[in-house]
Amino acid sequence: MKLLEEHIIKYGTALNNEVLKVDSFINHQIDPNLMMKLAKDIQDYFKEKEITKIVTIETSGIAPSVFLGYLLNVPVVYLKKNSSKIIGTNCYQTVIHSFTKDVDYLITCDKKYIKESDKVLFVDDFMANGEACLGAIDILKQANASIEGIAIIIEKAFQSGRQKVEALGYDIYSLARIASLENGNITFTE
Ligand code: 5GP
pLDDT, average across residues 149-162: 98
**Ligand 1 pocket test: which of 103, 125, 126 has the largest number of ligand atoms within 8 Å of its C-beta?**
126
- What percentage of the chain carries pLDDT values higher than 70? 97
For residue 160, report the distance from its CA to the centre of ligand 1, in Å.
Answer: 12
* Residues contacting 146, CB < 8 A, separation 6+: 118, 119, 120
For residue 52, report the distance from its CA to the centre of ligand 1, in Å.
Answer: 26
- The pLDDT of residue 99 is 86
When pLDDT is cut at 50, 70 and 90, the band that residue 85 belongs to is low
Instruction: Establish whether the linkage from the previous residue to 59 is cis, with ω within 30° of 0.
Output: yes
Mean pLDDT for all residues in the chain:
96
pTM for the full predicted model: 0.96
Q: Residue 86: pLDDT above 70? A: no
Q: Residue 88: pLDDT above 90? A: no
Ligand 1 neighbour 8 (Cβ under 6 A): no
- The pLDDT of residue 70 is 98
Ligand 1 neighbour 100 (Cβ under 6 A): yes
- The pLDDT of residue 148 is 98
Helix ranges, the chain (H): 2-11, 32-45, 62-72, 131-142, 161-167
Helix ranges, 46-185 (H): 62-72, 131-142, 161-167
- The pLDDT of residue 190 is 86
Ligand 1 atom having least distance to the Cα of 131: 2
pLDDT, average across residues 146-150: 98
For residue 162, report the distance from its CA to the centre of ligand 1, in Å.
Answer: 13
pLDDT, average across residues 98-116: 93
For residue 127, report the distance from its CA to the centre of ligand 1, in Å.
Answer: 6
Classify 7 as helix, strand or coil.
helix
Q: Residue 30: pLDDT above 90? A: yes
pLDDT, average across residues 140-162: 98
Q: How many CA atoms lie within 13 A of 161 on its CB side?
A: 30
- What percentage of the chain carries pLDDT values higher than 90? 92
Please give the single-letter amino acid code of residue 129.
N
Q: Residue 62: pLDDT above 70? A: yes
When pLDDT is cut at 50, 70 and 90, the band that residue 184 belongs to is very high
pLDDT, average across residues 2-22: 98
When pLDDT is cut at 50, 70 and 90, the band that residue 100 belongs to is confident
- The pLDDT of residue 146 is 98
Q: Residue 84: pLDDT above 90? A: no
**Ligand 1 pocket test: which of 99, 122, 159, 178 has the largest number of ligand atoms within 8 Å of its C-beta?**
99
Phi/psi of residue 62, each to 5°?
Answer: -70, -45
